[in-house]
Structure formats: C-alpha cells, structure tokens
C-alpha cells in the first residue's frame, strides 16, 4: 500500500515548548488514518503542517510526492486543491446560505458556469442528506446539520485527501452516528484518503484502519484499533480505555500544595 502523506523526523517548537520531537508517520492512500492522543499534544497543529499553514523547525512533510514546505505559493495553492478540511467548528460563513457556503470553493478555485456549480453543490448536499436545506442560513441549522454542510463544502472539489478535526465533538448520538457513516461511506465511494484527529476513542475505532497515538511530542504507538486496545503499554492502555489513573497525570505540574496554603 502506497502512502499519500509521509512525515519524516518532524520537529516543531512553540513558545519554547516542544510540540513535535522527531515525529514519523505515513498516511496510506485510500485508508482512514486516525491521529489520537491527550489534549494539547499538537494533533490539530499536525494537520496545519500537512496543509502547509505552519512550517516545521526540522523534518519534512511529503504530500502526494511533493515536499509541501519546499513549494512556491502557486504550487502550494494547487496542491491544496487536493485537500479538503472539516474544521472543528464547521467554520461556515454566517452571512451565506447553505448553498452559497458549499459553492464557495468552486467560485474561488474554478471558472465553472453557474449551471455546473448548481449541479455539483446539489450532488454534494444530497450526499450528506441536506439537499432540501440549501436555502437555510447557518443560524437555522442544528450543530449536526452544520457539521454536515461543512463536510459537503470540504468535498466539493473532489479532493484526494480530507482532514477531519474533532468531527465528533459536541454531537448528539444520532448526529454522531450520521457523521461516522458519512466518513466511512465517502471514503469508500470517493476513494479518499482520510485523516481524523480526535480523542473520541470508541467512535474513531469503529472506522479507522490505523491509529497513531501522539503524546509528549512523539508517536508512542501505532496499529489497528484492535491491536492498540490489546496493548499492555501503560500510556496506550490509559488512553484507549479512558483510565483516570496512569502515566498521564490529572494535575498540571505544581509545587507541593503546602507551599501555597501554608506559607
């Protein structure tokens, strides 16, 4: 299986804090790959590295055979057309209808006539079950509906790669089930390579082909959901099973409590 994204020896610091320290991973073509780990470990930052929005201090990110941080502005713009992004917030334009939100990337990146744009937008809205909601404004949508509109917009240019930033956050059980089904079915029918950033273990494990666990700036383990759930390594066990006690501490590092209360 060939890789559509390869990350090699990635290092990145922010405010003198190490975010990535020699990260290596492959995103396989046509598969659903999850990047998981505790909050604050740089999962969303990694997506921004892949999209070329942030530049690493060391290392490289190769997307479809091109070193993304070695590209000029025009080449980077063209490569980004191969990528779709579902933001955690949905990031819909509040002053545009559902239809215009989904049409927006086509208007920016193509010269297609309005009749073609109409057909493409309605097809993508049909795929996410919201063709009938095309005239609604974002304020009229539920959280789950807004996430589906954002997904339709993310796939409107028929990308090869789609990145999901916490797609299950804030979803009720029904909406979560819909999003899970959509991610899986779109990956299969459109031949996508999908990257999911999440810490919803149960939901992600249902659809991911492979999971990378990111913690303390490194990939601490990788494998299929079943393989990781059976691992005995304490950090893997704690995260995959949601254990409150383990190597990842509840308290942020601090002096002994007596120093604050008995001085």
Question: Phi then psi for 6, rounded to 5 degrees?
Answer: -130, 125
The predicted pLDDT at position 248 comes to 62
CATH code where residue 242 lies:
3.40.50.300
pTM over 0.85: no
> What domain range is 78 assigned to?
1-82+160-167+190-263
pLDDT for 103-128, tens place per residue? 999 998 889 999 999 999 999 999 88
Give, as one character, the DSSP assignment of residue 89.
T
134 falls within a domain:
no
Strand partners, 218: 215
Rounded to whole angstroms, the Cα distance separating 89 from 94 reads 12
Are the C-beta atoms of residues 54 and 45 closer than 8 Å to each other? yes
241 falls within a domain:
yes
The predicted pLDDT at position 204 comes to 87
Number of separate domains in the chain: 1
127 falls within a domain:
no
More confident residue, 244 or 123: 123
Rounded to whole angstroms, the Cα distance separating 263 from 260 reads 7
Res. 33 pLDDT band, cuts 50 70 90: very high
Are the C-beta atoms of residues 230 and 191 closer than 8 Å to each other? no
């Amino acid at each position: 299986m060939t890789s559509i994204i390869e990350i090699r020896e990635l290092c990145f610091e922010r405010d003198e804090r190490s975010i990535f320290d020699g990260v290596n991973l492959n995103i396989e073509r046509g598969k659903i790959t999850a990047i998981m780990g505790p909050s604050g470990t740089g999962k969303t930052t990694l997506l921004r590295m892949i999209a070329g929005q942030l530049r690493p201090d060391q290392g490289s990110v190769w997307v479809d055979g091109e070193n993304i941080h070695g590209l000029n502005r025009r080449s980077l713009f063209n490569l980004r057309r191969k990528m779709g992004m579902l933001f955690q917030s949905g990031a819909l334009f509040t002053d545009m209808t559902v239809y215009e939100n989904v049409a927006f990337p086509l208007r920016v990146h193509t010269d297609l006539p309005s009749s073609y744009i109409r057909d493409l937008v309605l097809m993508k809205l049909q795929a996410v079950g919201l063709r009938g909601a095309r005239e609604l404004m974002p304020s009229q949508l539920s959280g789950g509906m807004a996430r589906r509109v954002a997904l339709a917009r993310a796939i409107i240019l028929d990308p090869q790669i789609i990145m999901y930033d916490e797609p299950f956050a804030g979803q009720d059980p029904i909406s979560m089930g819909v999003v899970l089904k959509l991610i899986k079915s779109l990956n299969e029918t459109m031949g996508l390579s999908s990257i999911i950033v999440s810490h919803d273990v149960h939901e992600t494990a249902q659809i991911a082909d492979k999971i990378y666990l990111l913690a303390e700036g490194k990939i601490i383990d990788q494998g299929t959901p079943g393989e990781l759930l059976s691992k005995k390594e304490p950090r893997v066990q704690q995260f995959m099973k949601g254990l409150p006690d383990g190597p990842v501490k509840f308290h942020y590092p601090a002096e002994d409590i007596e120093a604050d209360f008995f001085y």
